[in-house]
Amino acid sequence: MTIEPAPATASPGPAQPGTPAPASVILEKDQRLSGSMLWKIQRSFFDAEGVRGWREGTIPQYITTNAFIARAYARVALGWLRDCQAAGLDPDQPIYIIELGSGSGRFAHGFLKYLFAWLDALWPGRLQVRYVLTDFTDSNISYWRSHPSFEPWLQAGRLDFASFDAARDNQIVLSRSGDVLAPGAVKNPLMAIANYVLDTLPQDAFTVHGGKLFESVITVASTQEEPDLLAPGLLERIQVSHSDRPLEGDYYAEPVFNHILAGYRERLGHASLLFPVAALTCLANLERIAGGRVLFLAGDKGYHSASHIIEVGDPGYVVHGGCFSMMVSFHTLGQYVLDRGGLFLSTAHQHNSLDVCAFLLGPGGYPETRLAYEDSIERGGPDDFFLMKRALGKAGEKLTVEEILGCLRLSGWDPDTLVGHAPRLLEALHDGEPGLHQDVLWAVRQAWDMYYPIGERPDLAFAAGLLLNTIRYYPEARRYLTWSLERYGPDADTLFNLALCHHNLRDLPAALACVKRALDLEPNFEEARDLRIRIEAELALEARPATA
């Protein structure tokens, strides 16, 4: 999918060097962006892909699903709950935390780990907090239902699921309890979380020239005839061009949306801007459901100041396999909230990869929420963690065991951080002091507790087994390696290391069985051949009859 802005005409211009040939078959012409066929392609991809998109890395996820961001959001949620409690709650009714577009469920797992541990320590049994994972894709909901990591919270009545289309639906029907979250039915304030969701929802595009507002309509064309407009790979063949046409009168049915647009027309001399109409509609629906008392916490690629609107320039589309994403104007969402007397929390600095903003509607100054946001997002937040992790990856070969363990503690025991540094950790452990072995064991156990497997490789269980093998915690290493085999199937490296565990625990028959299976998979596995010879020799020695 290539993007070719056309400020004055709707016809695609000449292809640039290194880009595909100009598209020739028009699929739609001069369409409002939010009504484009592009969004149908988007929905079709997510519906067909399911969790596989996250498992195989087609859909970006790490920056919004790691343990650090889960802990940061849980801190903000805890501050908000303190504010809600101070303002008064209905003790007989749940406080709902709704996650939009929950995807694989990995963020929810980390968030629940932190939040409920803190709630149980602070107010045991006093707050009825219920977390709801939502998505419009039924296969994702089925995946969450069967995932063993969620079972404790399901049994405790703290977790539920719902099919919810953030761009369309105005109520939420919980699949387990049957409760319906709709205007008038929700008695307590509501929190909503949206990570890497708003950038995939329908938007509109506008330009401002000389105090006048223009709608930026799009034309979609392909390099070939497209009998199936939802065919896989279609995004790779199409071009999108934009053209401006004067806008007269109100564009939206919602007066507040038109008021925000008018403000941009008056304040911006020359700019191109995206208008997150689906995100605004979603926020308005959540506001109605919650009776006007909402915390909306969102992380995405976007911008939260008017100056960034001018810097962004023409609308951009970033393709990820069979889907795409766009920048999100958090500034527009902030204007909506401010116009309604709410609070808009954003960072003073410009983010690098992830902009995290909070939108508060309802009475009160929310001091605890604002303090938690400043501490967990403004002063070293998820975007900063991602920068730090990337920098540490570049220095990976130079890190000591102590430095890697320090990174893990700062990360909130992020499993991906442990897996990423496992090769260096293994190398350093061979020369490290035995006193660090207990710290490594603790780090492995904590990362495992935060682990939410979705079937991706390399898996944490394999890395944990190697590390514990190295520091001679053989029984626990054996459990991790066995888990890896059960979940991922036969693997020569896993079988070989499991054979080493059995061998060191003097279970020679089990060791021999594992090493034979490893050699069946990789006959030229030299280390496995050597280990087999050694085990067979030891078994033969044990089988000799005792002599006088």
Q: Cβ–Cβ contacts within 10 Å for residue 280, how many?
A: 23
How far is the C-alpha of 218 from the C-alpha of 162, rounded, in Å? 34
pLDDT of 8 reads: 34
Specify which residues 205 forms β-bridges with. 274
CATH for 386-543? 1.25.40.10
Give the C-alpha separation, 265 to 294, whole Å: 29
Residue spans per domain, the chain: 386-543
Contact 337, 361 (CB under 8 A): yes
**The total number of residues written for the chain in this structure:** 548
Residues 459, 123 contacting (CB under 8 angstroms)? no
pTM: 0.92
3-state helix, strand, coil split of the chain in percent (to 5) is: 50, 20, 35
Average pLDDT across each block of 10 residues of the chain; the chain has 548 residues. List them in order: 39 35 81 94 90 89 95 98 95 96 97 97 92 96 96 97 94 96 96 96 93 92 90 86 90 95 90 93 97 97 82 69 89 96 94 95 96 96 94 84 94 96 89 80 97 92 96 96 95 97 96 97 96 95 72
Q: Which pLDDT value is given to residue 68?
A: 97
